[in-house]
Amino acid sequence: MLLLGLDPGLRHTGWCVINSIQDKNSWVASGNISPKISLTLSERLKGIHQGLVSIIKEYQPSVAAIEEVFVNMNGQSSLKLGMARGTAIAACSINEMPVHEYSPTRVKQSVTGSGRAKKDQVASMVRILLPGCIINSEDESDALAVALCHTVFANSKIHQMNIRK
């Protein structure tokens, strides 16, 4: 399965495509969608949407995994992050891709073994788990971690039971 991993953000939306065949994962591509900060909110969301649609058309992944919103003390920042996340989910859904959501703690736990791992620990494990991958930013690394998290859960018995319901 080709899997699209997403780490949504209004400044930088990290994305990746990995190939997952049984327990073997390989890096295909990754990057960031980074709309100009000078654009209006609606133009930035449009840029994220257009960027994701372009990636989906190029790589044709069959499923997407996205990180859930991390709610912080700044309500305005959380709201804007939610908008970027909603735009990403809509881009996938419009293109007939199921979207699976994972909390930041679950992503870190599945990749590093610790739900409290630091960003550099996550990036180090991603490099180990996906030899040859090229990581240029934290957002890209986070998207790769989300995709790897999904491969762990997609192959689990519990996940398979939930799909059949």
pTM above 0.95, yes or no: no
* Selected catalytic residue, list 138, 139, 140, 142: 139
- Catalytic residue (one of 7, 68, 120, 142): 7
Concatenated DSSP letters of the chain: -EEEEEE--SS-EEEEEEEEETTEEEEEEEEEE---TTS-HHHHHHHHHHHHHHHHHHH--SEEEEEPP---S-HHHHHHHHHHHHHHHHHHHHTT--EEEE-HHHHHHHHHS-TT--HHHHHHHHHHHSTT----SHHHHHHHHHHHHHHHHHTSHHHHHHHH-
Given 23, 58, 67, 142, the catalytic residue: 67
- Position 137 scores a pLDDT of 96
139 is catalytic: yes
Annotated catalytic residue 120: no
- Ranges of residues in the chain with a pLDDT under 70 are 73, 156-165
Catalytic residue at 7? yes
